[in-house]
Amino acid sequence: MQPYAGWIALGLAVGLAVLLLWIYSDSVYRFILLDAVVSGQCRLREGWRRWREAGRRYFVWVIAFGFGAFAVVGVVAGIPAWLAYRAGWFEKPEENLGGLIGGGIFLALVVIAIVAALAIIDMLARDFLIPVMAFEDVGAMEGWERLLALMGAEKSAYAVYTLMKIVLAMGSAIIFAIINLIVILVLLIPLGLLGLAGYFIGSGLGITWDLSTELLVAAVGLLALAGILYVVGFVYAPGLVFFQSYTLEFFASRYGPLGNKMFPPSLAAMPPTAPLTPGDAFPA
């Protein structure tokens, strides 16, 4: 284990860097998706330049929220477990079976409720905070203040929206899980054949398994996994656009700047709407 400690540390560092890069790019592309749905135009390079600052602010929010959520769940689940440990419940579980079972069920329900609440907050941020940040060119905290003021005026409407979004998300998850499973199985057939061909060719050439060979195989496997994830993401793209359109249709009637941009007063035939600009008030 000791000789590979450096490689393991390097792998963890690279994995963390890739994760942060993915979260950052996802934060920027959420604004690009908003721009594309509202304006009917999708220009990735221009969109990246236009929205990377807003994406950076949202990225900071995502990281802070993630650490905060992890801390909340850890404290809520960890303190009762620590108290039970200090009380000796785990040393003699047969004498405290009722408390362990009852307390475990109650704690699990509390954790599930907290996770569900955190998931709803994350959904509201993705659905409504991003448009507010985009149209008013503000940071996440100021955006939340304005969003909460809007939601406070129509609590029941946003509650119904949340329930509908959960139902639609469950339905789409089942549909796209089936589609993605079929796509993955179709992709695994040629990839598996290529892997077997590579194995037999390597065996024929006398290539032995050592650290360099294992790293090469791991790299090829990661490339194959990245390709599969790319195809899966491409397949899910229509669902992503649908949910973004559904969200904007709901929010446009309640958020003036977005409504003026999506549904201008003039009903005459118009060319595609100009791309969004951070901070633009978008007058009619």
DSSP string, 9-56: HHHHHHHHHHHHHHHHHHHHHHHHHHHHHHHS---HHHHHHHHHHHHH
- Per-residue pLDDT tens for 109-130? 999 999 999 999 999 999 999 9
Q: Where are the domains of the chain?
A: 1-153, 155-253
Judged by DSSP in three states, 276 sits in coil
Q: What is the mean pLDDT of residues 160-180?
A: 87
- Chain center to CA of 258: 23
Q: pLDDT averaged over the chain?
A: 83
- Per-residue pLDDT tens for 45-67? 888 988 999 999 999 999 999 99
Q: What's the rounded Cα separation, in Å, for the pair 255 and 135? A: 10
Q: What's the rounded Cα separation, in Å, for the pair 88 and 238? A: 54
- Per-residue pLDDT tens for 8-41? 788 888 888 989 998 999 999 999 988 888 877 7
Output the six-digit token pair for 106.
């109650």
Q: What's the rounded Cα separation, in Å, for the pair 139 and 53? A: 10
Higher pLDDT, 71 or 211: 71
- Per-residue pLDDT tens for 64-106? 999 999 999 999 999 988 888 888 888 777 777 787 888 889 9
The per-residue pLDDT for 281 is 45
- Tell whether pTM > 0.85: no
Q: Which of 76, 57, 60, 82 is nearest to 117 (CA)?
A: 76
Q: What's the rounded Cα separation, in Å, for the pair 132 and 147? A: 7
Query: What one-letter code names the amino acid at 264?
Result: P
Higher pLDDT, 197 or 206: 197
